[in-house]
């Protein structure tokens, strides 16, 4: 079954990218690469997003902004990824 997710579903306005793949990992990889390359949004690594291990402290220490945190939250919601550590946003 193919998984599809758009930038607009993640809160990125005026972007018509649709990432698709057979696994959440394929979709997250496409989204993270696109957000970095096309929108200049610095994102955590794909494994951290998929495993749900990125903490608020890691976001702050890694220099990630509020937009990146919201995208990660939405990615996890849309793909049904249960984080190991709940983020307070």
Q: Is residue 87 part of a domain?
A: no
The tokens for 58 are: 């890691």
Structural domain boundaries enclosing 37: 3-79
pLDDT at 21: 96
Whether 88 is covered by a domain: the verdict is no
Could you read off the pLDDT tens digit of each residue along the chain, which spans 89 residues?
899 999 999 999 889 999 999 999 999 999 999 999 999 988 888 988 888 766 667 777 777 778 888 888 899 899 988 766 555 54
Within 13 A of 53's CA, how many CA atoms are on the CB side? 5
* Number of domains present in the structure of the chain: 1
Q: What is the pLDDT of residue 32?
A: 96
Output the pLDDT for position 34: 96
What gap in Å lies between CA 16 and CA 84, rounded to an integer? 31
**Domain for residue 11, yes or no?**
yes
């Amino acid at each position: 079954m193919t998984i599809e997710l758009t930038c607009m579903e993640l809160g990125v306005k005026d972007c018509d990218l649709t990432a698709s793949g057979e696994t959440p990992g394929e979709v997250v990889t496409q989204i993270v690469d696109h957000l970095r390359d096309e929108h200049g949004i610095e994102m955590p690594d794909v494994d951290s997003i998929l495993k749900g291990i990125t903490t608020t402290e890691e976001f702050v220490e890694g220099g990630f902004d509020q937009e990146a945190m919201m995208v990660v939250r939405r990615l996890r919601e849309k793909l049904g990824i249960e984080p190991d550590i709940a983020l307070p946003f």
